[in-house]
Structure 1
């Protein structure tokens, strides 16, 4: 997984698009206006990314 710039045309090929936030965690994008993007609700990459993100927050908070 990596953060990168992308073009709207590339989003049509993505299984899942999401945003990260320190206050809201990982939030999947459900719809993109004027794009042929359909979220794959069973996407394993998103599930793993969400788990890793949550664990890293928990680890950080346990050290403070």
Structure 2
């Protein structure tokens, strides 16, 4: 599930019932950049952090 609470800010969360794994993330978009930080948790494997940076070279269409 993802929720966008402002034009450039969003948060997300998820859950996998089979493995009892949870996930969460947040991101911000600015001009032609998108930065997303996330983390997941697995009971046996522990935490898995992640960072995603996306750059749109064509520019943002208004």
TM-score (norm 2): 0.31
Q: Relative to total residues, which structure has the larger strand share, 1 or 2?
A: 2
Q: Which has the larger radius of gyration?
A: 2
Higher relative contact order, structure no. (Cα contacts within 8 Å, ≥ 6 residues apart): 1
